[in-house]
Amino acid sequence: GAGVSQTPSNKVTEKGKYVELRCDPISGHTALYWYRQSLGQGPEFLIYFQGTGAADDSGLPNDRFFAVRPEGSVSTLKIQRTERGDSAVYLCASSLEYNEQFFGPGTRLTVL
Amino acid sequence: SQQGEEDPQALSIQEGENATMNCSYKTSINNLQWYRQNSGRGLVHLILIRSNEREKHSGRLRVTLDTSKKSSSLLITASRAADTASYFCATDEWGAQKLVFGQGTRLTINP
């Protein structure tokens, strides 16, 4: 079956702009996760959804970052007033509860 | 914050040799997972070992877990050029599903 998909694969924006990153999880997976990975580092957790609700948003760095999953499937990560330090690969994963997390190919965000 | 530390940070071996990577972590865990990443993009899930398991095999992969030492190892036998990648361990704690990753081991297999 289809894996986790993310769009766009690459996003270049200017400092101060707003961006949206989309994630389509594996069908039937109730849990969805967002991670951020900087060059040379391991992924860092941002937020986790169980169904439609954010079960853990402790990894969001500040209030410029927000994520939604209105129907319990597709999720959108929203970043307001982007800064150069937001440049990274944003990874989405999905899973059945307490099982392996399967990752998408990521969105590479570059803030100029 | 990063929980785990992988050791070594980089490893270069000849094709056909075995590669061993180690991971240490700090807190009590529910599961430990190993992932492979090529070219800094999506992570491929390799194997999950639960806290009550000590060893697990999948093809050429062997994972061990020692919860008393808070450490795990990943062994890749009979390495191939296609195994060249970064390898990460990731842990999740009881009651929390988020994964905490180490910084990874960059493995290079020389033909």
A44 and B101: CB-CB below 8 Å? yes
Kindly report, residue by residue over B16-37, the tens digit of the pLDDT: 999 999 999 988 888 999 999 9
What pLDDT, on the 0 to 100 scale, is given for residue B40?
A: 62
| d(CA B25, nearest CA chain A) in Å | 14
Residues of chain B with pLDDT under 70: 1-4, 40
3-state helix, strand, coil in chain A (%, to 5): 5, 50, 50
Contact assessment for residue A35 and residue A82, using Cβ atoms and an 8 Å cutoff: no
Q: Is B43 exposed, middle or buried (0-12, 13-18, 19+ CB in 10 A)?
A: buried
β-bridge partners, B85 = B107
Kindly report, residue by residue over A18-68, the tens digit of the pLDDT: 999 999 999 999 999 999 999 889 999 999 999 999 999 999 999 999 999
B2 and A42: CB-CB below 8 Å? yes
- Residues in chain B within 8 Å Cβ distance of A105: 41-42
- Per CB distance under 8 Å, which residues of A are interface residues toward B? 31, 33, 35, 37, 39-45, 48, 50, 55-56, 58-59, 89, 91, 93, 95, 97-106, 108
CA of residue A97 relative to chain centroid, distance: 18
The tokens for B89 are: 């361990």
A33 and B104: CB-CB below 8 Å? no
